Amino acid sequence: MIPPKTIEEIKSTAKIEEVVEDFLNLKRRGVNMLGLCPFHDEKTPSFTVSPSKNIYKCFGCGRAGDSVSFIMDHEGYSYTEALRYLAKKYSIPIEEQQLTPELLNEKLIVDSYYLINEYAKNQFSENLFSSSEGKNIGLSYFKSRGYVESTIKKFDLGYALSDGKDFISKALKSNYKKEYLESLGLASKSGYDFFRERVMFTIHSISGKPIGFAGRTLKSDKSQPKYINSPESEIYNKRKVLYGLYFAKTAIRKEDECILVEGYTDVISLHQAGIENVVASSGTALTIEQIKLVKRYTENILIIYDGDSAGINAALRGLDLILEQGLNVKLVLLPTGEDPDSSVKNMGYEKFKQYLADHAEDFILFKTRIMLEEAGNDPIKRTRLIKDIVDSISKIPDTLKRSVYIQECSRRLNVDEEILVKSTNSKIRSEIKNRQKQSNPDMDYNEETALIDKQYAVSQTDRYTKGDEFQELDIIRILVTLGHKIYDEESNTTVAEYVLANLNGILDNFDNELYQRVVNYVLETTKNGRNLVPNDFITHEDEPLKNLAITLLSEEYSYASWENKGVMLQTQKPPDENFIKDSYQAILRFKLKKVLSSLEKIEKEINTTEDTEKLKTLIQVFNHLQQERNQVARELNTVVL
Ligand SMILES: [Zn+2]
């Protein structure tokens, strides 16, 4: 326990620029200091440190805070760990005597546990490198996997001897408590070593301390479990641990992506091959706690599945958890018979990276595709599929993201968008209702429905206000990804020119500023007679514009890889062949939205104005807009009330 007075002292002593400069270079810029953000990948510095305010803020990714939060974020430390780090840096003594006897005792136990695991780790390592059994069996196994010595040492790999009492007798001789050895699962009650004749993997905490072990047998004896793990203890909670995170955290942040694999050896092999942003959930199904751990470093998860993963559908269901946390999930399926370990060895770094880039598919779209292949034309399976996809989409907390998925899935499933919207909303409603029942079982029925309706109304307004942006994004997507294509060969018109010409008059009406900037840029470029290519957007100096373009274009690339795999939906043409129809509809939808909101505005004015001349004009405009609305709606084949 750190006394509050000391916490204050630490916080007021720590200078943000000094704390940050231990990890990155800062350059003075006026009253502030600037550097490359360690929390996201960037080429031009937007990480700003304000010595006078004693805080930092990144204008790229939005991370901000003080010295303590910087250390927590950067090093993955807990609050207390970060305070201790800073206290050490500034030589501020922490008086610990405020601990109660119970807390003191608990702390002593925890400290002893770490010491014992450290001791065990060293023993296992010594066995591996110095005993003949360890060398012959353990070391040769690791070498046969292709691990070099520096990797073996870095990951604290080791070997547990077959003797059965070797470890425990040495540990007792070194005065480690038998009781503690048992609680840590290093010794059995009957006085034998728990890990025998196994190669050993050390499991590290985020700050690199050994908190547990996994032992793998090399015997083909089926009666023995392939892996055994340390039991849970005060320092080891399986649900809260990701294997390899200590070694991966910096790379995860740099790459802004966390790769998730199934086994310890996958983590180590990829790491050795140079892919360091990789962790494993090691044996357990992915837990909420593990996802939250990942979220400290990135919002993007890429899951690699073995090519022959049986029951992939069941695995997919578990992934809704990640969506609930607001993370972006992509999946990659390896070729049949391969796992990450073997793949990276066969392909090598470059090819493997390329494979991941080419085959990563958005989770919901992946799920849609897999299930669609499976369902074929079976109506019952198709209904279940739609329900399943709706379940997943309803888990996404972000309204806008949800809308994008609904739109995309309606296209791919060939189901009316409105139906998906309705089912998703009703799913969300029933989830809210369930949660309320759980938290307050005695709630009066009327009270309950009133509350739900209120929340529902809020989420509907949300949808409504963001609605325009939704149509706007559609236009932007077409301009960025398809703008350079030829729309009409005879007149040599590009898609961009066609879209702009059709939106003449409402081109300044984008609600979203960023989208407006894209439109302005396209307008300017095409005015000068230049044909836009996607690369113009990717290299654009406007950072948010550039990022938006990259996102949109990478979505397009995933279509392409989809096609390469030869798996196309039967109901749907590839987006490329559809682009003319897509562009046309997007324009109509956008127009309709704009006309509707103008109508609404003018109607209000008509109801409030007292100027009869103005009223006359307003009514004329109103009638004109109504006609336009009807025409657009007819073309869209939509009934407008
Ligand atoms: Zn940043």
CA of 37 to the centre of ligand 1 (A): 4
pLDDT score, position 458: 38
The CA 53 to ligand 1 mean position distance, Å, reads 19
Architecture of the structural domain at 4-89: Alpha-Beta Complex (3.90)
d(CA 249, CA 259) in angstroms, rounded, equals 11
Q: How far is the CA of 36 from the centre of ligand 1 (A)?
A: 8
**Mean pLDDT for the chain overall:** 81
Amino acid (1-letter code) at residue 414:
N
Q: What is the pLDDT of residues 316-367, one digit of tens each?
A: 767 888 888 888 899 888 888 888 888 998 898 999 999 999 999 888 888 8
Instruction: Residue 254: name the closest of 549, 63, 42, 539 by CA.
Output: 42
| Distance from the alpha carbon of residue 319 to the mean position of ligand 1, in angstroms | 27
Q: How far is the CA of 408 from the centre of ligand 1 (A)?
A: 30
Amino acid 560: pLDDT? 38
Tell how far the Cα of 326 is from the centroid of ligand 1, in angstroms: 18
How many angstroms is it from 551 CA to the middle of ligand 1?
A: 17
Ligand 1 mean position, distance from CA 64 (Å)? 9
Q: How far is the CA of 259 from the centre of ligand 1 (A)?
A: 20
What's the gap in Å between 138 CA and the centre of ligand 1?
43
Distance 120 CA to ligand 1 centre (A): 40
Domain 240-359: assigned CATH number: 3.40.1360.10
- Residues 455-464 have a mean pLDDT of 39
pLDDT at 279 over 80: yes
pLDDT score at 574: 42
Query: CATH number of the domain at 101-236, out of 3.90.980.10, 3.40.50.150, 3.30.70.3460, 1.10.940.10?
Result: 3.90.980.10
Residue-level pLDDT at 466: 44
How many whole angstroms from 268 Cα to the centroid of ligand 1?
28
- Pairing verdict, β 278-280 and 361-362: unpaired
Alpha helices in 483-578 (DSSP H): 495-502, 513-527, 534-538, 543-564
How many angstroms is it from 102 CA to the middle of ligand 1? 42
53-62, 233-242, 473-482, range with greatest mean pLDDT: 233-242
**Per-residue pLDDT, 575:** 46
Residue-wise pLDDT tens digits, 205-229 = 888 889 999 999 998 877 888 889 9
Task: Judge contact between 74 and 24, C-beta under 8 A.
Answer: no
Per residue in 554-586, pLDDT (tens digit) is: 664 444 333 333 333 223 334 445 566 667 777
Domain positions in the chain are 4-89, 101-236, 240-359, 468-636
Judge whether 112 and 180 are in contact, CB under 8 Å.
yes
Helix (H) or strand (E) holding 439: helix 417-439
Reported as a pLDDT band with limits 50, 70 and 90, residue 548 is confident
Ligand 1 center–CA 376 separation, angstroms: 45
Q: How many Å apart are CA 331 and CA 322, to the nearest integer? A: 12
Q: How far is ligand 1, taken at its centre, from the CA of residue 40, in Å?
A: 5
C-alpha dist (Å) from residue 447 to 425, 444, 457, 638: 20, 5, 15, 37
Q: Residue 417: which pLDDT band, with cuts at 50, 70 and 90? A: confident
Distance (angstroms) between ligand 1 centre and the Cα of 316 equals 31
399 Cα–ligand 1 center, Å: 24
